[in-house]
Amino acid sequence: MRIISGKFKGKSINFLKTDSTRPLKDSVKENILNVITHSNLFNVNLENSNILDLYSGIGSFGLECLSRGAKTITFVEKDKKVASILSQNLISISCEDKATIANEEILKFLNTEIDKKFEIIFFDPPFSDNKYIEELKLIFKKKIFKKNHIIIIHRERKTLDSLENVINPLIIKTYGRSKIIFGNFN
């Protein structure tokens, strides 16, 4: 795995393949970032954005965003071994000062005092997991997003999640086995 573009282009990303993690493929990551950068449906600039990366794993999405000029990344990853690798990845690109790693369950993190508002919120839950919908509802309730924001959800192509009462899906793209939902809160 590597960083595709930006300041750290070509830099290797350490990863740990486990049953609980599924690294985001480079091609899917590149397509997500192209939509963020080029879509007229979102008034969000990747550069200087605060990003919340949930189910972050080794951090490939957030690391790519840092490489392209994101202001800060808040990673939430419950697995201690995976969070340790994420920390090593941040050290390898000297970006520890732009990132926070919350090594805990997402609901626990969301139920703490969060003093930041995010422009980009990225969800990459296990494909069989749909508790992220409750997490989305809590994010909306806590209003930890800026007026101009984008929510990105990575799901398995065949997954049928009911998101209409939670977010406003604006774009749905499929890339092989992956389905990416881009939306925002109404």
One-letter amino acid at 156 equals E
60-67 and 26-38 helices, crossing angle to 10°: 50
DSSP-assigned beta bridge partners for residue 155: 179
CA–CA gap between residue 176 and residue 185 (Å, rounded):
27
Quick one: which of 78, 72, 63 has its CA closest to 135? 78
Q: Which residues of the chain have pLDDT under 50?
A: none
DSSP symbols for 25-51: PHHHHHHHHHHHHH-TT----STT-EE
pLDDT in tens, 57-97: 999 999 999 999 999 999 999 999 999 999 999 999 999 99
Contact (Cβ atoms closer than 8 angstroms) between residue 177 and residue 156: yes
- Find the farthest-apart pair of alpha carbons in the chain and give their distance in angstroms, rounded: 41
Overall fold of domain 49-184: Rossmann fold (3.40.50)
Specify the pLDDT at position 154.
Answer: 94
CA–CA gap between residue 151 and residue 169 (Å, rounded):
9
Specify the pLDDT at position 129.
Answer: 83
